[in-house]
Amino acid sequence: MSQLNIQSLSQLPKQIRKPTYDVENTGRGIVHLGPGAFHRAHQAVYTDLAMSASGGNWKIDAVSLRSQDLRDKLATQDNLYSLVILDENPYIQAIAAFNNIFVLGDQREQVMSSMCDALTHIISLTITEKGYCLDSAGELDWSNSDIQKDKNSPDKPVSAIGLLVAVLKERKNSGADQLTIISCDNLSDNGTKLGKAVVTFANVIEPELGQWIASNICFPNTMVDSITPATSEELKQQTEKELGVEDAWPIQREAFTQWVIEDNFSGPRPDWEKVGVTFTQDVYLYEKAKLRVLNGTHSTLAYVGRLCDLETVYQAISEPSFEAFIRKLLVTEILPSIGATQEMDLAQYADDILQRYHNKHIRHFLSQIAWDGSQKLPFRILNTIRDNIQNKQSISLLCIPIAAWSLFILKQHSQGQQLVDPLAPELLELADKYSTEPLAFVDEILNLKSVFAELSNNSNFRSQVKQHVTTLANINKQNFAQILDDL
Ligand code: CS2
C-alpha cells in the first residue's frame, strides 16, 4: 500500500480534512523540542490550521532530544501524519506542519542551525515535567546529571535548558532576538520557571548572556489541554482503512482542545487566535484549574484505578463509586482550593471534564497517566494540599492519590512491572526493602524532599496519607465500591 505523503494529499478521500496552504513552499518559523504525541495532536495542529487560515512561514522543525522513532517513521511520508479525532462525530485531519524532524544526538549541527536561524521566531517545548530539571521549589536543580554535563560541556548540551542557552548565546551574537520561547508542559507557571532556569544557567556560562536573555526573550506562561492517548496498532489499521494509504504513526485525540497563551511575545507568531487559541494577560486561573481539576483527578483515577486492575479512564469513571468519589474530591477539596472566581464557572468546568472522561471512543490507559508520578503529583495534588492547609481546609481526600501512588509503586515492584519515573531506581529500592511493610514504605516515600518538600515534615499530612494506605492496602476489583463509598 502507498504511503501518506505530499503527493497523496490531493488523492485522499474527500471527507479527510487537509491543509489548504502551499505545503511544499512554506518555510519554517518554529522549532519544537520534544515532538511527542501531545505536541503532534495539539500545538502542531493549531499551527497547521493557522497556516491554512492565514498563511505565514510557520512550519515546524521538530527536535527529538533522544528518540529516533519519529524521524525514522515519518521520513518516508514527507513528515506528514494524520490526526484522528475520536468522538461522537469523528474525523481525520492530515497534518503537514512538520518541516524537518531532527534528533539532537546525531544532528546537532542542523538543530543548532535551525534554532539559531533569525527566521525561527518561536521555540516551543513539550519535554514533560522532568525535562525542566527543576527542584521542588521550581528552581534549576544543579544536582541534575544532565545539567552537570551541560555545565561542564556547554557547547554540547544534552538538556533542553543547556540547548536553549547555547542557542541564545549564538542568537545574542548574531542579533537574532525576534524569538519567543513557549513551554507547553503541565507545570504551574511553566514559562516563568523555564525562563528563570534558562537565565540562571546562562549566568554561569556567560554572565551578560543571562541579562541579555532576561531583557530580550519572552517566556510566556501557557495552559494546554487535549486528551491524547498513545497510538495503538488498532488506530494505525483503522486509519489506513480510512485514508486508503499507510500512515506510519497516526495520532489520536478527543475533539476537545484548548490552548491559552500569555500575550507576551518578543517576536512574530502565527495567527493562532484565528483557530481558537486564547491570548490573555493572565493564564494563572486557567492553568490552576486545569492542573488541579483535570490532571489532579487523572492521577487519582490512575493510581486508585490501577490498584483495582482497571485499565482505562473510561472504565474507571464508568464505575459509579469511582465517579462519586472523584466528584466528592472535586467538590470538597479541589474546587475550593481554586477559590471563588467570576471568570470561570468552576462547577461547570469540572462537569465538562468528567463528561470528557466518559468519552467511550477514547481508550486512555491509566498506566500511561501513572508515569512520572514523582514529577506530576507536586503540580497536580501537592500544591492543592498546600493551599488547603494554608486555608485550613480539608486535605483528607487529596491524600488518597498520594497513598495510592505509594501502593502502586509497591504493586509494580511485586509484579515485576516497569515503573516509569525518573526516581524509579530509588523508589524500587525502597519497595524492595519494605515490600511487605506498606506503612514503613510510605514513611520513606514521604521523606523524599525532592517530591514533598516541606510537606515531609507535616505530621497531619503524613498521618492522613498513612491512614489511607491502611484503607487502600487491600483494595481490588471486587471490593473497591465499598471502600470508595466509605471514604
Ligand atoms: C495526563 C495528561 O498522561 C497524563 O498525565 O493527565 O497527559 C492529560 O491527558 C493532558 O494534560 C490533558 O490535557
Model pLDDT for residues 443-477, shown as the tens digit of each residue:
999 999 999 999 999 999 999 999 999 999 999 99
Sign of torsion over alpha carbons 133, 136, 138, 142: negative
Strand 91-95 to 81-85 pairing: antiparallel
Q: Which atom of ligand 1 is nearest to the CA of 186?
A: 11
Whether 295 lines ligand 1, by a CB cut-off of 6 Å, is yes
Instruction: Look up the pTM and report it.
Output: 0.97
Residue 391 burial by Cβ neighbours in a 10 Å radius (0-12, 13-18, 19+): exposed
Instruction: Identify the band that residue 1 occupies on the pLDDT scale cut at 50, 70 and 90.
Output: confident
Whether 298 lines ligand 1, by a CB cut-off of 6 Å, is yes
CA 394 vs CA 296, 346, 398: distances in Å: 16, 19, 8
Q: pLDDT tens, 398-410?
A: 999 999 999 999 9
Whether 369 lines ligand 1, by a CB cut-off of 6 Å, is yes
- Separation of 222 CA from ligand 1 center, angstroms? 15
- Separation of 37 CA from ligand 1 center, angstroms? 11
CB atoms inside a 10 Å sphere around CB 20: 12
Neighbouring-strand partners of residue 84? 92, 252
Whether 368 lines ligand 1, by a CB cut-off of 6 Å, is yes
Predicted local distance difference test score (pLDDT) of residue 207: 85
- Separation of 395 CA from ligand 1 center, angstroms? 23
Give the integer Cα–Cα distance in Å for 291 and 303: 17
Give percent above pLDDT 70 in the chain.
100
Instruction: Identify the band that residue 339 occupies on the pLDDT scale cut at 50, 70 and 90.
Output: confident
Whether 297 lines ligand 1, by a CB cut-off of 6 Å, is no
Whether 313 lines ligand 1, by a CB cut-off of 6 Å, is no
Instruction: Identify the band that residue 340 occupies on the pLDDT scale cut at 50, 70 and 90.
Output: confident
Residue 134 grid cell:
527543576
Section 31-45 average pLDDT: 98
Q: pLDDT tens, 279-333?
A: 999 999 999 999 999 999 999 999 999 999 999 999 999 999 999 999 999 999 9
**Which amino acid residue places its CA nearest to atom 4 of ligand 1?**
369
- Separation of 470 CA from ligand 1 center, angstroms? 28
By most ligand atoms within 8 Å of CB, the mutation choice from 184, 228, 251, 295 for ligand 1 is 295
Q: pLDDT tens, 165-208?
A: 999 999 999 999 999 999 999 999 999 999 999 999 999 999 89
Give the integer Cα–Cα distance in Å for 98 and 30: 9
145-159, 213-227, 291-305, 335-349: least confident range: 335-349
What is the 3-state composition of the chain as percent helix, strand, coil, each rounded to the nearest 5?
55, 10, 35
Q: Which atom of ligand 1 is nearest to the CA of 299?
A: 6
**Which amino acid residue places its CA nearest to atom 13 of ligand 1?**
225
When the pLDDT of each residue in the chain is averaged and rounded to a whole number, the result is 97
- Reference 476, options 321, 329, 353; nearest CA is 321
Whether 126 lines ligand 1, by a CB cut-off of 6 Å, is no
Whether 227 lines ligand 1, by a CB cut-off of 6 Å, is yes
395, 310 in Cβ contact below 8 A?
no
Predicted confidence (pLDDT) at residue 209 exceeds the cutoff of 90: yes
Give the integer Cα–Cα distance in Å for 275 and 273: 5
Whether 412 lines ligand 1, by a CB cut-off of 6 Å, is no
- Separation of 95 CA from ligand 1 center, angstroms? 22
Whether 315 lines ligand 1, by a CB cut-off of 6 Å, is no
Whether 393 lines ligand 1, by a CB cut-off of 6 Å, is no
Instruction: Identify the band that residue 72 occupies on the pLDDT scale cut at 50, 70 and 90.
Output: very high
CA 355 vs CA 84, 319, 336, 358: distances in Å: 20, 14, 20, 5
Predicted local distance difference test score (pLDDT) of residue 400: 98
Whether 257 lines ligand 1, by a CB cut-off of 6 Å, is no
- Separation of 357 CA from ligand 1 center, angstroms? 11
Q: Which atom of ligand 1 is nearest to the CA of 376?
A: 5
CA angle 312, 318, 319 (to 5 degrees): 105
Predicted local distance difference test score (pLDDT) of residue 342: 85
Give the integer Cα–Cα distance in Å for 182 and 269: 11
Predicted local distance difference test score (pLDDT) of residue 465: 98
Q: Which residues lie closer than 8 Å to 185 by C-beta, 6 or more apart? A: 125, 126, 127, 128, 129, 131, 132, 224
Residue 296 grid cell:
489532579
- Separation of 209 CA from ligand 1 center, angstroms? 35
Rg (CA), the chain: 23
Q: pLDDT tens, 93-112?
A: 999 999 999 999 999 999 99
Query: 3-state class of 451 per DSSP?
Result: helix
Give the integer Cα–Cα distance in Å for 375 and 338: 21
